[in-house]
Amino acid sequence: MREVAIIGVGMTDFGELWQTPLRDLYAEAVVSCLKDAEIERDQIQSAWMGCMSSGLFNHQEHLASILSDYAGLRGIAATRVESACASGGAAFRAAYLEVASGASDFVIASGVEKMNDGADATFCLATAADQEYEVYHGVTFPGLYAMIATAHMHKHGTTYDMLCQVAVKNHKHGAMNPKAQFPMEITTDTVKNAVRVAEPLGLFDCSPVTDGAAAVLLAPVEVAKALGKPLVTIKGSGQAVDSIALHDRPDPSRIPSVGMAARKAFEHAGVTVRDIDVCEVHDCFTIAELCCLEEIGFYEAGQAGGATLAGETALGGKMPVNTSGGLKSKGHPVGATGIGQIVEIYEQLSGLSGDRQVSGARLGLAQNMGGSGGSSVVHILEVK
């Protein structure tokens, strides 16, 4: 396999962008990515775009055609991939494999989701769970993650203060991110006093409904070296699926697909969790951040909550997590999230993160997850 590097990134603002159609979101991210890479459109050979549910959100499928067309990329190979909220991570892996194979040199990996378009977002998102065995009986995602939280609290003594601190910490990071949907600091009281969504989770335990797009451009390392920029390479890639339904898992306090994907990525990269300097994990709900940190191996089961309260996962702590603001503060346009994470890690490794910079970060990890963990994708990036 050829070594692959990221040579440019682009991202829209994340937020309620009522005036911006799906195709414009994509085009804005791709055009800014190509500008960042200083690569012309006619050099692009292929594109992979992650999107969860443009069919239900926007009554538009066939994204490979419509988005490439609108971005001025007719003639390229292009494919949309979907793995619910892990669609962006899956698109990144597909693009990585294409460049690694030698089939193409310049390949765009992107993600896009237009969630504010009139559709019922809760219904659309629920199609990432088992429609016949979960959703039919009335459960949606806040309910599923509330069950995970309850099981985690029961098994490990995890407290609601620990969950609150995930939200407080991520909003503190997001307040420094000009592209974040909710760039304001909050307090533990904000989280505690918010309306309950599904006990024990309240409004501030939940990531928002968001429009947005992000894109990165991949190329062989030899091409990247000639550009004279920081050389950020893809050192490890891992992906895994598990049972889609929570009730089919032996332990509802755990999300095994995250650990399976992480182990594949670490093995591929030849590094361990202790080598990672900065990471983005899939905090669709506050409890999810704790579960993901434990599954990846940053902490033993039941230990991530205490570490979060102690400030270890905040900027300045020993393992900064979700420096972008995470899904909670930056926003969660579901198909775009996985690429948004890659953008953050790329900028951290390139020293471009401004006030959010993790000093001396050399190795970063991005973990993206679908549904209640039915699928996960983990990538490890390195700056050389």
Contact residues: a second copy, CB under 8 A? 1, 21, 46, 52-53, 55-56, 58-66, 68-69, 73-84, 90, 93-94, 97-98, 100-103, 124, 127-132, 135, 237-245, 248, 260, 264, 370-371, 374-375
Nearest to 315 by CA among 301, 329, 303: 329
Nearest to 252 by CA among 323, 154, 135: 154
The answer to whether residue 332 is catalytic is yes
Q: How far is CA 270 from the centre of its chain?
A: 23
- H/E element holding 9? strand 4-11
DSSP string, 194-256: SPEEETTEEGGGB----EEEEEEEEEEHHHHHTTTS--EEEEEEEEEE--SSGGGSS-TT--H
CA separation (Å) from 164 to 30, 101, 223, 230, 266?
35, 44, 45, 36, 30
The nearer residue to a second copy, 201 or 265, going by C-beta atoms, is 265
The nearer residue to a second copy, 234 or 315, going by C-beta atoms, is 234
Compute the distance between CA of residue 124 and CA of residue 117 in angstroms, rounded to an integer: 12
Question: Which residues neighbour 292 within 8 Å (Cβ) at sequence distance 6 or greater?
Answer: 255, 258, 281, 282, 283, 367, 369
Nearest to 219 by CA among 347, 109, 85, 91: 109
The nearer residue to a second copy, 23 or 179, going by C-beta atoms, is 23
The nearer residue to a second copy, 241 or 309, going by C-beta atoms, is 241
Residue 175 beta carbon to a second copy: minimum distance, rounded to whole angstroms: 32
Residue 335 beta carbon to a second copy: minimum distance, rounded to whole angstroms: 10
DSSP string, 318-373: SS-B-TT-HHHHH---TTTHHHHHHHHHHHHHTT--GGG--TT--EEEEEEEETTT
The answer to whether residue 51 is catalytic is no
Compute the distance between CA of residue 149 and CA of residue 218 in angstroms, rounded to an integer: 37
Residue 30 beta carbon to a second copy: minimum distance, rounded to whole angstroms: 13
The nearer residue to a second copy, 246 or 345, going by C-beta atoms, is 246
Nearest to 317 by CA among 134, 170, 103: 170
Residue 174 beta carbon to a second copy: minimum distance, rounded to whole angstroms: 27
The nearer residue to a second copy, 64 or 148, going by C-beta atoms, is 64
Residue 338 beta carbon to a second copy: minimum distance, rounded to whole angstroms: 12
Q: Which of 152, 173, 282, 332 is catalytic?
A: 332
User: What's the residue count for the chain?
Assistant: 384
Q: Which of 85, 124, 164, 206 is catalytic?
A: 85
Residue 311 beta carbon to a second copy: minimum distance, rounded to whole angstroms: 35
Could you give the residue numbers annotated as active site? 85, 332
